Chains A and B, each alone.
Chain A
Amino acid sequence: MNGLPLLPAVTVEFIGSALAILLSFIALGYARALVRLQPNNFIWGFFFYFCIAMAAFSLSRGVGHIVRILLVYDGRSEIWEKLSPWSGGFNTMLLISVAAVTIYYHKGLAAYKAIRLEAEKLSEANAKLAAGARQLQQLNANLEQMVDERTRNLSESEKKFRNFFENSKDIIYFSDIEGNITNINTSGINLLGFNSSQETINFHTLFKNTSDLERYLLELRQNGFVSDLEMECRGKNGAVRHILLSANAIYSHQGDVVGCEGIGKDMTRIRNMTDQLINHEKMALVGNMAAGIAHEINTPLGIILGYAQLMMDDFSKDSEGFSNLKIIERQTKTCRRIVADLLKFSRQSESIKTHIDLNEIIREVLSVTEHTLNIHRILVERRFASDIPPVIGNAEKLHQVFINLFNNAQYAMPEGGKIAISTSKTSDDVLVTVQDTGTGVADDIKNKIFDPFFTTKEVGEGTGLGLSVSYGIVQEHGGTITVESPVEDPETKTVSAGTAFRLRFPAVTNNLYMNGSMRENG
Chain B
Amino acid sequence: MKRADKMHIAILILVFLFGEAKSAWALQSHPPPEGIYVHQMAHILFMGALAYLYWHTRRTPAIASKGWRYLQIFCIILFLWNLMAFTGHEISEYLKATDIIDKNSLNEQIAAPITFAKALYYFTRMDHFLNVPALLALVISLRTFYQEARKEAER
CA distance A79 to B63 in the complex (A): 48
Q: Classify the interface of chain A: helix, strand, loop or mixed.
A: helix
C-alpha gap A28/B93 in the complex (Å): 35
CB pair A77–B104 under 8 Å, yes or no, is yes
Say whether B129 contacts A12, CB under 8 Å. Answer: yes
Complex CA distance for A4 and B111, rounded to whole angstroms = 7
CB contact list, B107-134 vs A, under 8 A: 107-114, 118-119, 122, 125-129, 131-132
A-B residue pair count with CB separations less than 8 angstroms: 142
Contacts of A77 in B (CB 8 A): 104
Q: Which residue of B lies closest to A68 (CB)?
A: B104
Contact A1 B113, beta carbon cutoff 8 Å: yes
> A16 near B149 (CB under 8 angstroms)?
no
* Cross-interface CB contact of A5 among B45, B108, B127, cutoff 8 Å: B108
Do A37 and B125 have beta carbons less than 8 Å apart?
no
Contact B132 A20 (CB under 8 A): yes
B52 CB–A CB distance under 8 Å: yes
Q: What's the minimum C-beta distance from A319 to chain B, rounded to whole angstroms? A: 152
A13 to B139, CA, bound (A): 20
Q: Are B42 and A99 in contact (CB under 8 A)?
A: yes
- Compute how far the CA of A51 lies from the CA of B71 in the bound complex, rounded to whole angstroms: 12
B89 CB to nearest A CB, Å: 10
Cα A30 to Cα B148 with chains together (Å): 12
Which positions 21-38 of chain B face chain A at CB distance < 8 Å?
35, 38
Q: Are A44 and B52 in contact (CB under 8 A)?
A: no
Tally chain B residues at the interface, Cβ within 8 Å.
49
Which residue on B lies nearest to A9, using beta carbons? B125
Residues of B within 8 A of A99 (CB): 42, 45-46, 48-49
Instruction: State the CA gap A6–B129 with chains docked (Å).
Output: 15
Inter-chain contacts of A1 with B (CB < 8 A) = 112-113
Are B43 and A95 interface neighbours, CB within 8 A? yes
Q: Whole-angstrom distance from the CB of B134 to the nearest CB of chain A?
A: 9
What residue in chain A is nearest B153 (Cβ atoms)?
A37
Contact A102 B145 (CB under 8 A): no
**Chain B residue with Cβ nearest A22:** B135
Give, as a whole number of angstroms, the nearest-CB distance from A66 to chain B: 12
Contacts of A27 in B (CB 8 A): 135, 138-139, 142
Q: Which of A34, A73, A95 contacts B106 (CB 8 A)?
A: A73
Q: Find chain A residues with CB under 8 A from B58 CB.
A: none
Question: Across the interface, do A54 and B135 meet the contact criterion of CB distance under 8 Å?
Answer: yes
Q: List 15 A-B contacts (CB under 8 A).
A: A4-B118, A6-B108, A7-B108, A16-B128, A20-B131, A38-B149, A38-B153, A51-B138, A54-B138, A73-B106, A89-B35, A95-B39, A98-B49, A102-B53, A106-B52
Q: 8 new A-B pairs (CB below 8 Å) besides A2-B109, A26-B139, A27-B139?
A: A1-B113, A2-B112, A9-B125, A10-B125, A16-B131, A19-B128, A27-B135, A106-B56
B: which residues have CB within 8 A of A?
35, 38-39, 42-43, 45-46, 48-50, 52-53, 56, 62-63, 100-101, 104-114, 118-119, 122, 125-129, 131-132, 135-136, 138-139, 142-143, 145-146, 149-150, 153
A residues near B (Cβ < 8 Å) are: 1-10, 12-13, 15-17, 19-20, 23-24, 26-27, 30-31, 33-34, 37-38, 41, 43-44, 47, 51, 54, 58, 72-73, 75, 77, 85, 88-89, 91-92, 95-96, 98-100, 102-103, 105-106, 109, 113
